């Protein structure tokens, strides 16, 4: 049996491919899909990481469908607020990386909305590539912190609705 590549990795690879699809005059459709796909790559990475904690493997896909873009964006934005999340006693380097991943997620979601719904915005290859690269950097940044307690708490926050 060969090595299985995760869906989020496939999406990131596809986003990079879409940015470079037309070598001379990139089509807006390719650049827009690249930005959108970069967002979905990070979206599915975080969901995959969160549901991997669920011990009942056959139910992980069903749990993954419970994640909501707006809840995830809200959680990613809240984590930036030091009043809500002072991260007292945590390694400042880990905190900085976690905040960067969360910020990238929220920003990529905003860019995805522009790419998918705002036909007045013209995308250049450089702009689209920057968004894809931001997802790629978030993937790389996530790996060394993924098992830290605050990273795991962040994953839980992505599915839990904030209480009033």
* pLDDT confidence of residue 5: 56
Residues 6+ apart with CB under 8 A from 56: none
pTM comes to: 0.94
- Total number of domains constituting the chain: 1
CATH of the domain at 50: 1.20.120
For residue 163, tell me if it sits in a domain. no
pLDDT for res 1: 33
CA 37 to chain centre: 10
Distances (CA, A) of 8 to 49, 69, 71, 125, 146: 10, 16, 19, 22, 15
Contact present, 38 and 117 (Cβ < 8 Å): no
Classify residue 1: in a domain, yes or no. no
Specify if 164 maps to a domain. Answer: no
Phi then psi dihedrals of residue 66, to 5 deg: -80, -15
Contacting residues for 115 by C-beta, under 8 A, at least 6 apart: 31, 32, 33, 35, 36, 121, 123
Residue 103 placed within a domain: yes
Helix pair 149-157, 69-78: axis angle to 10 deg:
140
pLDDT in tens, 110-133: 999 999 999 999 999 999 999 999
Give the model's pLDDT for residue 4: 44
Tokens 């995760």 -> residue: 6
Residue 164 has a pLDDT of 63
Domain that holds residue 132: 7-157
Quick check: is 14 in a domain? Answer: yes
Residues in the chain predicted with pLDDT less than 70, given as ranges, are: 1-5, 164
Picking from 97, 99, 101, 104, the residue whose alpha carbon sits closest to that of residue 80 is 99
User: Is residue 2 situated within a structural domain?
Assistant: no
């Amino acid at each position: 049996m060969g090595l299985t590549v995760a869906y989020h990795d496939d999406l990131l690879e596809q986003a990079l491919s879409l940015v470079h699809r037309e070598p001379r005059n990139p089509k807006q459709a390719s650049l827009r899909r690249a930005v959108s796909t970069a967002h979905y790559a990070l979206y599915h990475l975080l969901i995959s990481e969160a549901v991997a904690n669920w011990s009942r493997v056959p139910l992980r896909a069903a749990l993954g469908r419970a994640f909501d873009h707006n809840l995830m964006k809200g959680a990613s934005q809240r984590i930036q607020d030091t009043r809500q999340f002072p991260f007292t006693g945590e390694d400042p380097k880990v905190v900085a990386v976690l905040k960067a991943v969360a910020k990238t997620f929220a920003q990529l979601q905003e860019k995805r909305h522009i790419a998918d719904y705002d036909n007045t915005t013209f995308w250049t290859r450089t702009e689209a590539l920057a968004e894809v690269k931001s997802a790629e950097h978030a993937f790389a940044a996530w790996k060394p912190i993924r098992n830290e307690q605050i990273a795991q708490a962040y994953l839980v926050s992505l599915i839990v609705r904030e209480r009033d």
